[in-house]
Structure 1
Amino acid sequence: MTQHSIAITVTGHAEREFTPNRCTVRLRVHADGATHEAAAEPATAAVKAVTDLVTALRDHENSPVKRWTLDQVQHSRHRPYSQDGKKKPWRYQSSASITVTFSDFRAVGPFVTRASEVEAVNVDHLRWWVSRKAEAKRLAKVRHLAVLDAIEKAQRFTETLGFGTFHAVAIADPGMLGVAPPTGPVHPAGAPMMRALAAPMGVDGEPELVLEPDRITISADVEARFEAS
C-alpha cells in the first residue's frame, strides 16, 4: 500500500428465496393391545398397506418417490399400575417408522391422504428441503451476489474518499479477515412451513389434498479487502 492509497475492508451480504425440491414424509405405525398378537397384527397389516402404496408409486415410469425407508417393526410391553398402586395386566405395543422422500410434490398430498386412512398409521412429520446438489448451486449464486455487494460497498467508499480506482486484495469467509460478524437475522436453509391449496377432485370424485411449501431463504456473507488509490 503506497502513500496515496488506503485499505478498505467490507462485508458483503446476499439472500434469496428458493423453492424446495424434496419432501420427506415420516409415518409412524403404532398399535397396542392386551396380547402380543393384538398389537402385532394391526401394526404388520399397516406396514404392508403403506408398503403397497409406496411400491405402487415406485413402479411408475417417472416415479415421484426418490427413496424410502422402513424400520423393522418393534415389539414391547409394559405393565401399568392402577391409581391405588395395584398392577394391571400387561399391555403390548408394536411400532415402526416409515419415511418416503418425494421429488414431485403433486404426489405428496394424495399419498398423505391415503396413508393417514390406514389404521394404526399417523403422519408424524413433513420435511421440505433442498437436495445437496441443488443447494450447492443455489448457494453459489447467493455467494456471487454477496461478492457483488462487497464490491459495491468498496466502490462507494472509494468515491467518498476521493480516490479514483480500487482493486481487490483478499476475499474470505466470515471471520477470516477479522471483520465483526453481522448482527442481523440469520436465514439458514431449513424446513419451511407448508400451506394447503384448493383441492382438486381425485379419480374417485373425492377432493385430494394439495400441499405447497413456503420458499426457503438461503443467505451468504463474505469478507473482502480492497486497496483504493
Structure 2
Amino acid sequence: MGITITVSGEAERKHAAERAVLHLSVGFEGPERDDVLEQSARLHSELSAQLGYLHSPGTGPVLEWAGEQLRVWGQRPWSQTGEQLPVVHHSAASLSATFNDFVALSRWVGEIALLDGVTVNGVDWSLSDATRHEVESAVQRDAVAAAVKKAEIYAASLGFTGVIPEAISDPGLLGDDEHPLAKMAMRTSMGAADAGGDVTTLKPEEIRVSAAVHARFSAG
C-alpha cells in the first residue's frame, strides 16, 4: 500500500549588492521665507547638477536619479511658557540616485554630507535585474531539490524506495496548510549615514534571496 508525503522545501542564497539607491534631502528653516527658499533652491540645484554630471544610464556611476519639487511652509511654534512665537519658515526637497559604483557613492556622500542643509537618509542595497532573476531561479531550484530530498528521506524511513511527484506549489496553495511559509521574497538590508556622519557606514550589504515551496509526493 502506498502513501502520500507532503513536504515543504526552503532555500536561501546570498549575493553581493550591485546597486545602491541613495536617499537624501535638502532643507532649511528660518524667519524669512524668501531666504529659506533661496538657500534650498540653490542647494537643490547644485546637487542636481552634480548628479547630472555623474549620470550615465549605461555605465554609471549614477544609473538614474530623481529630484522632488521643493516645498515651503510656515509654522508658529510655542514657547515653554505657552506663548506662540513668530512664524518659522521651512523648506524641504528629496533626491534619490541609483549608483553602481560604491567607491563613487562613498566619495560623493563624503563631500555632500557635511554641507549645511543636507541630510543623508539612507541607502537601499539591491541586485541588478539580470542578477536578481538569475539568483531567484537558482534558489527556486534549490527549494524544489530540498523538498524532493526531504520526501525521499521520509519515504526511506518507512521502507519505501523512491518518490513520485504529484503536485508542487508556492506555500499555501496545496490547500492543506494551516501555517503557510512565506513566499519567495527578496530581502535587502539598509545602511544609513546622517549628515556629518561616518561615510564608512555605506558598506554594501549582502543580499539574501530565499524561496519556499510545498510539494506532494507518492511512494509505494
**Same fold, judged at TM 0.5 (above):** yes
* Aligned pair partner of 2:209 in 212, 218, 225: 218
Report the 3-state secondary structure (helix = DSSP H, G, I; strand = E; otherwise coil) of the residue aligned with 2:187: coil
The reply to whether residue 158 of structure 1 matches residue 155 of structure 2 is yes
CA-based RMSD: 2.7
TM-superposed deviation, 1:186: 9.6
Deviates more, 1:32-41 or 1:210-219: 210-219
TM-superposed deviation, 1:98: 0.6
CA distance, structure 2, for counterparts of residue 127 and residue 223 of structure 1: 31
Letter in 2 for 1:13: E
Q: Is the 8 A contact 1:109 1:210 kept in 2?
A: no
Counterpart of 2:4 in structure 1 is: 7
Sort the Cα spacing of 1:145 and 1:155 in 2 relative to 1 into closer, same or farther, 3 A: same
CA distance, structure 1, for counterparts of residue 58 and residue 188 of structure 2: 29
TM-score scaled by length of structure 2: 0.85
CA distance, structure 2, for counterparts of residue 217 and residue 187 of structure 1: 11
TM-score scaled by length of structure 1: 0.82
TM-superposed deviation, 1:60: 9.2
Counterpart of 2:70 in structure 1 is: 73
Identity of aligned residues (%): 30
| Per-residue CA distance 1:168-197 (angstroms, 9 max, x = gap) | 1111111122145468x999533314499x
Consecutive unaligned residues of structure 2, counting only runs of 5 or more, are 194-198
The reply to whether residue 29 of structure 1 matches residue 26 of structure 2 is yes
Q: Is the 8 A contact 1:15 1:219 kept in 2?
A: yes
The residue correspondences of 1:63-212 to structure 2 (distance < 5 A) are: 63-177=60-174, 178-181=176-179, 188-194=185-191, 211-212=202-203
TM-superposed deviation, 1:88: 2.5
CA distance, structure 1, for counterparts of residue 83 and residue 150 of structure 2: 74
Sort the Cα spacing of 1:114 and 1:61 in 2 relative to 1 into closer, same or farther, 3 A: farther
Report the 3-state secondary structure (helix = DSSP H, G, I; strand = E; otherwise coil) of the residue aligned with 1:213: coil
Consecutive unaligned residues of structure 1, counting only runs of 5 or more, are 197-207
Deviates more, 1:219-228 or 1:87-96: 87-96
TM-superposed deviation, 1:26: 1.0
Counterpart of 1:203 in structure 2 is: none
Sort the Cα spacing of 1:186 and 1:215 in 2 relative to 1 into closer, same or farther, 3 A: farther
Q: Is the 8 A contact 2:164 2:219 kept in 1?
A: yes
Larger Rg: 1
Report the 3-state secondary structure (helix = DSSP H, G, I; strand = E; otherwise coil) of the residue aligned with 1:223: strand
Letter in 2 for 1:29: V
CA distance, structure 1, for counterparts of residue 167 and residue 183 of structure 2: 24
Letter in 1 for 2:143: A
TM-superposed deviation, 1:25: 0.9
Report the 3-state secondary structure (helix = DSSP H, G, I; strand = E; otherwise coil) of the residue aligned with 1:189: strand
| Per-residue CA distance 1:26-63 (angstroms, 9 max, x = gap) | 11111111111221121111112211210121159832
